[in-house]
Structure 1
Amino acid sequence: MRRCLLAARAALSPALSPPCSSHALRAFAAASTGDRVWRVYLSGEIHSDWRERIADGLHKRNLPVSIVSPICVHEDSDDCAAIILGDEDKRMNYDGKGARMNAIRTRTLLEDADVVVVRFGEKYRQWNAAFDAGMAAAMGKSIITLHPPSLGHMLKEVNAAAMAVCEEPEQVVNTLDYCITGRLPDKPWTEGFVPIADRLGKGNPNP
């Protein structure tokens, strides 16, 4: 811990001597999170490899992130309570017991999370993901949504509560990397990107 504090102070020192160096400020951003391990909850559909792509990207960058998620084996989440507590004849009771048992994990991990990533796909309707997003918003969690552009209109209320709206898992990785280390990707997502200060001039001449 002492080493991290010293690194942060060393990075900040040149930044306090004008003119401020972008390199020094970025170094401070990287050092200022210290030994923190970021807890990221991944909610959403279980039919594509989006979780694996995020986990792989975070691992390759050696980011201090702990990933958690709900139970992702569909039949296990459906049958858990009936197997553990006893069977039910009616589907409503069967589903209700399972939902409540799964909620023990979901609520606990959501409450502990620093960031909640919620994935929506085109093929399946993720009612539970929308519910997780609502719970996360009520808890004041930082939410990142992940979905194709075609779902943007349907998810506008959910996206309004999100801190970032991503189209691809790689954008989620880049967002987390930036928030943790202050590091930006080498290539902007938009082809031919030009910073707005270069397009319109610095400052706000027309407030």
Structure 2
Amino acid sequence: MLNVYLSGEIHTDWRDQIEAGAKGLNITFSAPVTDHGASDDCGVAILGAEPDKFWHDRKGAQLNAIRTRMGIEEADVVVVRFGDKYKQWNAAFDAGYAAALGKALIILQPEEHDHALKEVDAAALAVARTSDQVVQILRYVLEGTLPKA
């Protein structure tokens, strides 16, 4: 069983694409909470309201960090997706944390991010452009097979 943590961008269906493509492989997937509102508001929903947005966000970030740290620590492979929208500092942080733990790291990013992510990419074992490439990597790791031409 391969444990794969899918981190990063939450605005597209890339996780669903990887999970669908990996159907039948001996993989367990985990991920952060991808409901943006729930992720932002979990701290105040559970621990109480905060009048200051800084503390509101901090409570949420700390609760999310429990899930993220656990997911990365338990993973054999960490896939971090950098999408086209927004500055994804949390994704870069997750990639650095995974690298520091010596996790097998796959970065999924568009070509236009190559320069900005050069240090992150240097820590990765693979840099993929598509979800299908990530699936092919996972299949190769588990089965030693190449994609059919």
Cα distance in 2 for residues equivalent to 1:83 and 1:147: 33
Q: Which consecutive segments of 4 or more residues in structure 1 shift more than 6 A?
A: none
Corresponding position: 1:56 with 2:20: yes
Cα distance in 1 for residues equivalent to 2:132 and 2:113: 18
Q: Which residue of 2 aligns with 1:137?
A: 99
Q: Which residue of 2 aligns with 1:173?
A: 135
Q: Which residue of 2 aligns with 1:45?
A: 9
Cα distance in 1 for residues equivalent to 2:69 and 2:109: 23
Instruction: Structure 2 unaligned segments of length 5 or more: list them.
Output: none
CA offsets per residue over residues 86-142 of structure 1, 9 Å max, x none?
100001111111111111111111100000000001222211100000100110000
- Counting only pairs closer than 5 Å after superposition, residues 71-110 of structure 1 correspond to structure 2 as 71-110=33-72
Amino acid at match of 1:155: L
CA offsets per residue over residues 57-76 of structure 1, 9 Å max, x none?
001xx100000000100000
Secondary structure at the residue paired with 1:105?
helix
CA offsets per residue over residues 23-55 of structure 1, 9 Å max, x none?
xxxxxxxxxxxxxx1000000111111111100
Secondary structure at the residue paired with 2:22?
helix
Q: Which residue of 1 aligns with 2:146?
A: 184
Matching residue within 56, 74, 85 for 1:123: 85
Alpha-carbon offset, residue 77 of structure 1 = 0.7
Cα distance in 1 for residues equivalent to 2:86 and 2:148: 34
TM-score, normalised via structure 1 length:
0.71
Q: Which residue of 1 aligns with 2:112?
A: 150
Matching residue within 161, 186, 198 for 2:123: 161
Aligned pair count reads 149
The percentage of counterpart residues that share the same residue type is 54
Cα distance in 1 for residues equivalent to 2:25 and 2:20: 11
Matching residue within 56, 60, 70 for 2:32: 70
Cα distance in 2 for residues equivalent to 1:95 and 1:144: 28
Larger Rg: 1
Secondary structure at the residue paired with 1:63?
coil
TM-score, normalised via structure 2 length:
0.98
